[in-house]
Amino acid sequence: MNHFSQFSTGPDHGHQHLPEPGPAEPGQWPKLEAALAVVNRDLTATLPDQEALILMVDPPWPSPSPSPSPSPSPSPSPGGIDRGQVYVAMPDGRWHGNAVNPGDLEEGDPPEPDDATTVLTAVADAAQSTIMELRWQVWPICSEHKIGMHPRPAGTTDDWYPGETDADGGPPVWWCRGGRGTDCHDVSPVGELAATLPGRQRRALRRSERGRGGRR
């Protein structure tokens, strides 16, 4: 998705300018920011030419103009909180895939998921969608089987499905289906793909990190 001006036609048939998506303010979404920092470590390790992903906020649409009728105005969502939908995006603001925060604050959902594992899984999945769609490439790739991986609970089997509760409940991992459908395996916890790289790539990554540190 690109930045673009949004307009709607109001009851008076005029055009109303709608707020445009923009980068999240630092500290506005602390759990999502922390999770994205973890996922960006994997991005830097495996796609060194790719700049870090960011959080983009698609603001809520403004409420319609008040009706001239004497009926009371609708009540706000619980706690008065509606900060829009948050997406994992390229540095230029484009994204693909679902929002990483709850979609129905009127049902009492918190602004961010409560559980750190849920947050990290959602952000890793959203980052993968954005990278694969906008770069037109599979990411991340299992170095052993040369196929794409997916964020999953640790210890899952090939027939696992979302919502299943037989995993160990730990932090999500990058999971590979394997070469023959019978040797699926956990490759690494999300955020730790650097440790799975061949020696030459690990050394290059360390040199790059030292260079970035020296320029700060």
Does residue 207 lie within any of the structural domains?
yes
- Grade residue 23 by pLDDT with cuts at 50, 70 and 90: very high
Is residue 171 reached through a cis peptide bond, with omega within 30 degrees of 0 on the bond before it? no
Whether residue 151 lies inside any domain: the answer is: yes
Q: What is the pTM of this model?
A: 0.77
Domain count, the chain: 1
Question: Considering the domain boundaries, does residue 195 fall inside one?
Answer: yes
Structural domain boundaries, residue 54? 18-59+79-214
pLDDT at site 9: 41
Q: Give the pLDDT confidence of 39-53 residue by residue, as tens digits.
A: 999 999 999 999 999
Query: What pLDDT sits at residue 7?
Result: 37
Task: Encode the chain in three state secondary structure.
Answer: CCCCCEEEECCCCCEEEECCCEECCCCCCHHHHHHHHHHHHHHHHHCCCCCCCEEEEECCCCCCCCCCCCCCCCCCCHHHCCCCEEEEECCCCCECCCCCCCCCHHHCCCCCCCCHHHHHHHHHHHHHHHHHHHHCCCCCECCCCCCEEEEECCCCCCCCCCCCCCCCCCCCEEEECCCCCCCCEEEEECCCHHHHCCHHHHHHHHHHHHHHHHCC
Kindly report, residue by residue over 141-154, the tens digit of the pLDDT: 998 899 999 999 99
Is residue 25 in a domain?
yes
Amino acid at 41: R
Nearest to 28 by CA among 2, 54, 61: 54
Is residue 114 one of the residues assigned to a domain? yes
Please check whether residue 5 lies inside any domain of the structure.
Answer: no
Residue 65 is assigned to a structural domain of this protein: no
> Considering the domain boundaries, does residue 54 fall inside one?
yes
